[in-house]
Amino acid sequence: MFKRHKITIIGAGATGATTAHVMALKEMGDIVLVDVAEGIPEGKALDIWEAGPIERFSLKVTGSNDYDATADSDIIVVTAGMPRKPGMSRDDLLKVNAEIVYQVVEKAAKLSPNALLVVLSNPADVMAYVAQKASGFPYHRVIGQAGVLDSARFRAFLADALNVSPKDVTAFVMGGHGDDMVPLVRYSSVGGIPIEKLLPADTIAQIVQRTRTGGGEVLNLMKISAFYAPASSLAEMVEAMLKDERRVIPVISYLNGEYGEHDIFVGVPAIVGGNGIEKVLEVEFTEEERQAFAKSVASVRKPLSMLNY
């Protein structure tokens, strides 16, 4: 007997609820929205589910405060945590979100021991590490979301500068999800043409910097963290796993020797499919790129060293 996939989203705030909505529109599977706030996950799930007859999706969307509702999930998406506020860095959220993520993942993992775990909570690289410790899952089944989002911003800015469709822009960002992230200009192109052939160096430098501070730009305007683009990024990752698409996308992955790094989760290009991280892809660096990546990794290790996991 065939069954729909089951997706649990932990955290019914703006990002979690929007992620549920996007996944419902894509008919990715039955969705369970979980949150500690009484009535919030139930109400938002009901609202999304009631759009089904209009949007033509047949899946179930339910909400709960009880983790028993998440049992036997194929995918667990973690968006829970204290949101970032103006003036706060992602690292300011470190200890409070580490405690939240550890607790919610520990509960959900026990009820869905075969699930793939996708982590969005900030600081995302560190929270992926915490989530793996809390779940005990194999490293390839714990994936952080940041590279898809950061790369989408990079691609959007490049497309805007060139007045072309973002569909034709290929670009990716590596390293930690913070101000030291590494947009790789040399590997970026539009319709197969290197962007360095299409844009002046100063324009590219401005776009790289805007990409690094893209989350802060939205935060300063809305006074809350971004949630539309992050939700779409999560949906793209989950779809790649549920459909075993073997997509090559930048994700937060555990490194065990790749790029000369050990025992850390950080953003790298990887093949993503039905097993989670199928393979980390190692690209060649120039000396400047190598130093930038090393600096970014160091910025992840610093807050990680403050936790006892």
Active-site residue numbers? 177
Q: 85 Cβ partners below 8 Å, 6+ apart?
A: 219, 223, 224
Q: Is 16 annotated as a binding residue?
A: yes
Cα distances (angstroms) measured from residue 92 to each of 22, 145, 303: 29, 19, 9
Q: Is 121 annotated as a binding residue?
A: yes
Q: Is 20 annotated as a binding residue?
A: no
Q: Is 155 annotated as a binding residue?
A: no
Q: Is 308 annotated as a binding residue?
A: no
Q: Is 15 annotated as a binding residue?
A: yes
Q: Is 12 annotated as a binding residue?
A: yes
Residue 293 phi, psi dihedral angles, 5° rounding: -65, -40
Q: Is 90 annotated as a binding residue?
A: yes
CA–CA separation, 104 vs 8, rounded Å? 12
Q: Is 120 annotated as a binding residue?
A: yes
Q: Is 18 annotated as a binding residue?
A: no
The token pair at 159 is 């497309």
Q: Is 14 annotated as a binding residue?
A: yes
Q: Is 97 annotated as a binding residue?
A: yes
Q: Is 84 annotated as a binding residue?
A: yes
CA–CA separation, 176 vs 278, rounded Å? 20
Q: Is 111 annotated as a binding residue?
A: no
Q: Give the 3-state DSSP-derived string for 160-192, with helices as H, strands as E and coil as C.
A: HHHCCCHHHEECCEEECCCCCCEECHHHCEECC
Rounding to the nearest 10 degrees, give the CA dihedral for residues 283, 287, 292, 298: 90
Angle value at C-alpha 307, between 131 and 178, nearest 5 degrees: 75
CA-based end-to-end distance of the chain: 41
SS3 content of the chain, % helix, strand, coil (to 5): 50, 20, 30
Query: Which residues define the annotated binding site for substrate?
Result: 84, 90, 122, 153
Query: Which residues define the annotated binding site?
Result: 11-16, 35, 84, 90, 97, 120-122, 153
Query: Which residues define the annotated binding site for NAD(+)?
Result: 11-16, 35, 97, 120-122
